Amino acid sequence: MRRTDIPQFGPLQGVKVVHSSISIAGPFCAQLMADMGADVIWIENPKAPDIARGGGFHQGWSVELNRRNMRSMALDIPSEKGREVFLKMLAATDIFTEASKGGQYDRWGLSDEELWRANPALVIVHISGFGQAGEDSYVSRASYDPIAQAFGGLMYVNSLPGMAPFPSSQDVGDVYSGYLGAVGALAALYRVRETGRGESVDIAQYEAVLRSQGQNMMAELNTGNPISHTPFPNAELVAGYGAYECSDGKHCVVMTLGPAVFKSVMEVLGLPYGTDEIPAGSARLYHNTPGGKMIDEAMAKFCAERPASEVERIFSGAKVPASLVYSYTDMKDNPHFQARETFTTYPSARYETDVIAPNVQPVLKNEPGLVWRSGVDSGFDNEDILRDFGFDESQIEALRADGVIGYREDSCPQLTHR
């Protein structure tokens, strides 16, 4: 697909982004901008493609989601000729993002200052496990999402009595880092367009994880008292607050918190309101109080006698925060997900099936984002990209012959929806 054939859309149309990163954090950062209309070029090493490629069912789908709306180029950046191509590309680029061990580009002779010599107005985003500066022995450490969760406190929060600490299974350290990277890139770009002076954004994965934590972290830091470890915050204290098993074996989350909500819950459960045990105007009661014990018993009985969908409907109708614990299949079939088009479908360039994936978020009314392409093979757009940056056919062929650029078809299973 030629650049002239790519649809123009979204608030970032006209912004050119180059990213060189593997796994999740870096590609997710760039993909957020691609969904908003930026022209995003994904650079991989032709000798060692992204580890998400050819990784079976789960990793293969990561390419479809976190590399959609991108053009792919396989370029050996640290090689002598690859470096020349890379710097020529960055001279006409707005934002460059990379994800590697701290200081990797410095070790390649491609420091921020060197990149700014090619383009003084370039925004550079570095995503690494431990940052670009700090204690040297940490900066150069390798990291993946569970390492960031361990170092950044999330596994500490998730530790339960009698169990080994465990990470969230959904790569939240990668995703949080990607969000911060995109925010930092666009904030820097806004300023660069006023000053003309480039900026470098330093994202440490563990800091992104730490920043996602709130009241428990603040309480321990400021009082010195270790946090209490619970699978559901406040559920160990507040009556009528938690995930309750229902008659169909599913769970519904109900949160009895706030004066108006508290009163509505008492009405739904048929409990006396305005008594010594359950005083009027209460925002919450605790488990160890007489009223709290009444609420806990009544809530458990109420939920156990009804399917989760009915519990959700009754409490939501009474203006009480409540939700069925939804599976991905439940989400796909839910009318609200459908009405908001939370999921979208697009053809896969790699599998013999369409892709069902989250739609563009956030939703913009006047300049909405768009999904125009799935993930593609490594180096799929080499020639098109190089022509964009002024390389002619003979130069492109020479780069191919020298192994500076390459192409590799994904060795991934042909999947169909079940």
Tell me the catalytic residues.
174
Which residues, in sequence order, are CB contacts of 407 under 8 Å at separation 6+? 46, 74, 377, 378, 379, 380, 382
**DSSP-based three-state secondary structure for 128:** strand
Alpha carbon distances (Å) from 112 to 105, 197, 300, 334: 8, 12, 59, 47
Dist CA 200 CA 114 (whole Å): 12
Largest Cα separation within the chain, whole Å, is 88
Dist CA 182 CA 190 (whole Å): 12
Q: Is the peptide bond before 413 cis (omega within 30 degrees of 0)?
A: no
Dist CA 382 CA 50 (whole Å): 16
Give the number of C-alpha atoms closer than 13 A to the C-alpha of residue 53, restricted to the C-beta side.
23
Which residues, in sequence order, are CB contacts of 174 under 8 Å at separation 6+? 23, 24, 25, 28, 145, 148, 205
With b meaning 16 or more CB within 10 Å and e meaning fewer, what string describes 194-205? eeeebbbbbbbb
